[in-house]
Chains A and B, each alone.
Chain A
Amino acid sequence: MTLDYQLIWQNLPLYLNGVALTLKVLLISLACGLALAIPLALMRVSRTCLLRYPAWLYTYVIRGTPMLVQLFLVYYGLAQFEAVRQSPLWPYLSSATFCTCLAFAINTSAYSAELLAGSLRSTPRGEVEAARAMGMSRLTLYRRILLPSALRRALPQYSNEVLMMLQTTSLASIVTLVDITGAAKTFNARYYLPFEAFITAGLIYLALTFMLVRLFKLAERHWLAYLAPRKH
């Protein structure tokens, strides 16, 4: 069996637009997710029960249910309520791109919050004690010491989360968006060449994965240089 790559070349714009959409959805949801994750992580490590338990429940429920169900709840589910359909937000909530980014952002916020909380908890005791001895208030302590250090140390795990999110973006194709997977589906529907269609998509995802891995290696070398093993 031979693969027909002539047609893939002819349909390259279809795939390239897919790559652009995948990256757009990925970046938006990661940015919003991280912005949500930081306060959530702080709640998660808080000593106040009223802050800690809601954050725990949020991450537990989101991490315990499939992404597809969350996406369907946002995309199909919200329209069930008259109040949502009447609200000024409806033009956004009826758009597939907006709903997808929203659902993905909620999903990644739970996972990122959990790994950030872990990173906050593993802050070396001495760093906090030193900051207290310098007379820093709690707010200053978090702003200057805890958060910068925890965010840096969370980088290797966060890179895993980003790679998982890249794969998750393929679900966008289920709610009609033409991302990389959507492009492959369109190609397959047009020519009925499943191998060419999906293997091309898989190779593009692999290439993106390798690029992201490389990018995070560079970021780690920059921000985590102080943790690297000493070179004699």
Chain B
Amino acid sequence: MLHGYGSSILDGAWLSVSLALLAMALAIGLGLFGAACRLSPLRWLAGLGEVYATVVRGIPDLVLILLVFYGGQDLVNRLALALGYQQYIDINPFVAGVCTMGFIFGAYLSETFRGAFLAIPKGQAEAGAAYGMSGLQVFWRISLPQMVRLALPGFTNNWLVLTKSTALISVIGLQDMMFKAKNAADATHQPFTFFLAVAALYLLLTSVSLLLLRGVEQRYSVGFKAAEL
């Protein structure tokens, strides 16, 4: 299939999927942390969360990817030299990709999570406090499970954007499906065929994600009735 490049592109697709999944795991962690910061009563912490969300969302992904890749390379090597390590260190594009994507989408998710937390009726947390739970217990037992349902639509959206953004990591040399397709296109002079194949793979990926996440959404909405309009 595809002049024998089919399997190599599929390998690349697997790399894209694992990159997206790992980056999302990191983004969920950072997003929760960011949302907690922004909702904190401490002014400086809330301000810090606000700066993180605003700055990252105002700068294109590509610029941040290039900054982390080239800048990170520079920083790591200067540090290594300072520590007396002589060899030149190359940053792995996969690691750079996971870190950058996680960092970027953490900012977007902090916005989603913050909105979801604010949408939980205040009485829920108050009831938890009335039972004598600590702030952390209220967060873990009361707010977080309810937040999942409210955050899912925004989360789905962010996941789809993240999946599609992984194509950008090919720019810093990750051998994902985009990179493999570019190589195959250059070798066979059939760019349209190969990029169309990549487009189809991405469409498959986004369609499957959409179906799965819709199922999860239904699962978490059990017991909630939508208002009849």
Using a CB–CB cutoff of 8 Å, the interface residues on chain A facing chain B are 1, 61, 64-70, 72-73, 76-81, 166-171, 173-174, 181, 184-185, 188, 192, 194-195, 197-199, 201-202, 205-206, 209-210
Cβ contact within 8 Å between A65 and B66? no
| B204 and chain A: residue at smallest CB distance | A64
Contact for A72 among B70, B75, B195, B206, CB less than 8 A = B195
Give the residues in chain A near B196, CB-CB below 8 Å.
73, 77
Number of A-B contacts (CB under 8 A): 116
Give the residues in chain A near B70, CB-CB below 8 Å.
188, 194, 197-198
Known interface pairs A181-B63, A202-B67. Does A72 touch B182 (Cβ–Cβ under 8 Å)? yes
Is B221 interfacial (CB 8 A cutoff)? no
Using a CB–CB cutoff of 8 Å, the interface residues on chain B facing chain A are 55, 58-64, 66-67, 70-71, 73-75, 78, 160, 164-168, 170-171, 178, 182, 185, 189-193, 195-196, 198-199, 202-203, 206-207
Contact for A201 among B63, B73, B165, B195, CB less than 8 A = B63
The minimal Cβ–Cβ distance linking B142 to chain A, given in whole angstroms, is 32
Cβ contact within 8 Å between A80 and B63? no
Give the residues in chain A near B199, CB-CB below 8 Å.
61, 65, 69-70, 73
Q: Is the interface of B mostly helix, strand, loop or mixed?
A: helix
Give the residues in chain A near B192, CB-CB below 8 Å.
73, 76-78, 80-81
Cβ contact within 8 Å between A181 and B60? yes
Cβ contact within 8 Å between B67 and A195? yes
Contact for B203 among A65, A188, A195, A210, CB less than 8 A = A65
